[in-house]
Amino acid sequence: MSKPIPRHHLHTDSAVGETALAAAGSEHTHGGVAHPIRHALRGLRKVPEITVYFWIIKLLTTGMGETTSDYLVHRINPLIAVAFGGIGLAAALVLQFRVRRYVAWIYWLAVVMVAIFGTMAADALHIGFGVPYLVSTAFFAVALAVIFVAWYAREKTLSIHSIDTRSRELFYWATVMATFALGTAAGDMTAFTLGLGFFSSGVLFAVVIAVPALAYRLVRLNAILAFWFAYIVTRPLGASFADWMGRPHSLGGLGLGTGPVSLVLALVIIGFVGYLTVTRADS
């Protein structure tokens, strides 16, 4: 017989440590046996558990997306780079939508391609069309808000533990793309428009990302709100430090080069994803 889960434990869908308790606690049981339909639905979940590995890889992908985008657009024709980025993103999302459950390397490949293309999209507005970073930041913030409103209006939840239908998966990836574009624009706004530079911007966002975690623990901030707040901030946090490492001294960076930084980050991501594939620590 399964052991009952205390009601107060059903609200652990936190920003920095979401677990499957919410999903487990919502199972319909008959005589202590989990309902098979609920088990089937849980088997279709397409996203990882929110563990420390999730946040580490998420930060790494934000940095890699930033430096890889910069490397590509400065080494080949920017239009060709954006086209390749779009094709790569489309292919990765096709793979993600075709599988019926969470597969670590497919999921994180999609996130990496979102990071690269999201950076290109945000940079295109500023470099290609001359849109100020402040305006593009506001634009992507509004776009993200619209997606959240539409998602909640249709599904009545924004929890990533509920990504078990095609509709919710579509909303999820639309949200992920919007957060990457917003984070890119916000990071560039603080670095260039506000004149903080890359390192100071990274420190700023490191402080900001602690807000939802502290608010959740101290004042019981809504767990889903805390998660998405932290998720958005990881983008400018990782990108700012990656820019600081890769950009030349003349721009306030360490001058390590966007290519080498991208390569090192890619290898570290591959190492973590390989570990998760073998251990299934996030499944």
Q: What is the pLDDT of residues 108-162, one digit of tens each?
A: 999 999 999 988 877 777 777 888 988 989 999 999 999 999 999 999 999 988 8
- Average pLDDT score, the chain: 84
pLDDT of residue 40: 38
Is the per-residue pLDDT at 32 higher than 80?
A: no
Q: What is the pLDDT of residues 48-62, one digit of tens each?
A: 999 999 999 999 999
pLDDT of residue 37: 38
Mean pLDDT across 67-77? 89
Mean pLDDT across 211-218? 88
pLDDT of residue 171: 96
Is the per-residue pLDDT at 178 higher than 70?
A: yes
> What pLDDT band is residue 170 in, cutting at 50, 70 and 90?
very high
pTM: 0.81
Q: What is the pLDDT of residues 225-238, one digit of tens each?
A: 999 999 999 999 99
Query: Which range, of 20-24, 72-76, 167-171, 255-259, averages the lowest pLDDT?
Result: 20-24
Q: What is the pLDDT of residues 181-198, one digit of tens each?
A: 888 889 989 999 999 999
pLDDT of residue 123: 77
pLDDT of residue 259: 94
Percent of the chain with pLDDT over 90: 58
User: How far apart, in whole angstroms, are the C-alpha atoms of residue 243 and residue 247?
Assistant: 5
Q: What is the pLDDT of residues 78-112, one digit of tens each?
A: 888 888 999 999 999 999 999 989 999 999 999 99
